[in-house]
Structure 1
Amino acid sequence: MNTFEKLSEEKQTTILDGATECFADKGYYGASIKEICSKANISNGALYKYFTNKEELFLAVLHKCQEILVENLYEKYTHIKHSLVHTVENYLEEIVKIHQKYPNYIKVYANLGSNNVEHFLKNLHSPFTKSANYIHNMVSEAKANGEILLDISENELSLLLDNYFILFLSSLVSDYHDLRFRFFLRMTPEENLTNKRKIEFILDSITPFLAKTE
């Protein structure tokens, strides 16, 4: 157990929340240790007792992001409930709730695809593999239940769903990804695009693959 893990859960959360707010607002390179310490209400020296450098702190934030998603999303929807469409709808609605509760963590997570932080991804191979397995299991159950009509492999449909999930999550924090939805929905920037409409679009797009359920 390292020094940080010996802290109370409340103190750990305060530090990670403060760091995450800075990383979400300024990005990894823009966030300074001084700002992070101010948000976390600790001294510079105390922070370096817990983390060797800013990179180690950022990795701790990323693992917290993954922990939030596993506990609040992946583990809830690793099995089909009623039907694949129903499960996907609930999955997307849950993403909205998680974003409302943990906006800064979701923003940091959504920005992992940027060139500035790509080198951190090698440290997240195992968590990403687990998240992919949850989605693949969802698809496997749907196929076993006879829900999938078209000749599409489980891997292909899993990848399709994963991309939809990431696009939807990113659209909650990124104007660019929100604009991507608008493009495919043929909506102008002035029109009101709700999360409900995005979810309906995703469900409509996967329906042709699936058998009708009661």
Structure 2
Amino acid sequence: MNAFAKLPQKKQVHILDAATESFAEKGYFGASIKEICQRADISNGALYKYFRNKEELYFVILKKCQDILVQQLYERHTQLNHSFKTTVRMYLEQIETLHKKYPNYIRIYANLGSNNMELFSQKMHDDFMKSGSYVISMVSEAKQRNEIPQHIDDNVLAFLLDNYFILFLYSLVSDYHEKRFRSFLRIKENEALTSKKKINFILDAIEIFMHQR
């Protein structure tokens, strides 16, 4: 990694973006070093100078996925500068923004839940589970502001909320999860399903907890 770290920032980004594009399109096992090098405009020898193998390269990309989520989602959108409901809406809207800005990185993050990715999901478990602590903090702060009834368990609501966040993210990269939203929203395939409709559906779902007195 020392050789890679010494490269100009623009060159680092170009290589990682090219590799991420290959992994997002073909998966970890389908993407080849040869193809990655062609997309990155570097030789095979150069890639192995920067990374010991494809696995190490993939871990670096996963780390960048985590950095994007922490810096541009968790740290910015879990503090209640607005109402709890507005904060949840802004969090979901930011997920969509990040998907538009970093589609391949978000797809790779979503694919980490696949059955054949246990090696990576286990090693990255602690890093990616940090999202839960941010969501718990969001819920706890909302309770302190009396926006959520005191008898609601912080961890239970945070777990539910985090799953809504993940399902929304998955629906942006997966036809299957998009269809799950359509099923519960009773929207036919020939009808438009916007992110706004999905977000409003999630907000309606958490509204139930906010009024349990």
TM surpasses 0.5: yes
| TM-score, scaled to structure 1 | 0.95
2:111 aligned partner, one-letter code: N
1:48 matched residue in structure 2: 48
Maintained 8 Å contact 2:15/2:40: yes
**Residue 67 of structure 2 aligns with which residue?**
67
CA offset at residue 57 of structure 1?
0.6
Code of the residue aligned with 1:32 in structure 2: it is S
Aligned to 2:137: 137
The aligned amino acid for 2:8 is S
Instruction: Please name the residue that 1:12 is paired with.
Output: 12
Alignment map for 1:73-84 (pairs within 5 Å): 73-84=73-84
Asked if the contact 1:19–1:40 (Cα under 8 Å) also holds between the matched residues in 2, the reply is yes
Give 1:5 deviation, angstroms.
1.6
Shift of 1:211: 4.8
1:15-68, Cα deviation, whole Å (9 max, x unpaired): 110000000000000000011001111110000011111111111111111111
Assess if the C-alpha contact under 8 Å between 1:80 and 1:87 holds in 2.
yes
AA matched with 1:185: L
1:188 counterpart residue number: 188
Aligned partners of 1:78 and 1:138 also within 8 Å = yes
Which range is displaced more, 126-135 or 62-71? 126-135
Q: Aligned residues: percent identity?
A: 61
Runs of 5+ in structure 1 lacking a partner?
none
- Aligned-partner Cα distance in 2 for 1:116–1:87: 34
Which segments of 5 or more consecutive residues in structure 2 lack a partner in the other structure?
none
- 2:49 is paired with a residue whose SS is helix
- Mapped partners of 2:20, 2:129: distance in 1: 23
Please, what is the CA RMSD of the aligned residues?
A: 1.5
CA distance in 2, matches of 1:71, 1:113: 22
**Whole-Å Cα distance in 1 between the matches of residues 41 and 75 of structure 2?**
33
**Inter-partner Cα distance in structure 2 for 1:93 and 1:74:** 13
Which amino acid letter does the alignment assign opposite residue 84 of structure 1? Answer: F
| Poorly superposed stretches of 4+, deviation over 2 Å | 149-152
Number of aligned residues: 212
What residue in structure 1 maps to residue 89 of structure 2?
89
Q: Distance in 2 between matches of 1:77 and 1:137?
A: 11
Cα distance in 2 for partners of 1:25, 1:103 equals 11
Q: Secondary structure at the match of 1:187?
A: coil
The 5 A counterparts of 1:31-180 are 31-149=31-149, 151-180=151-180
Which AA in structure 2 matches 1:7? L
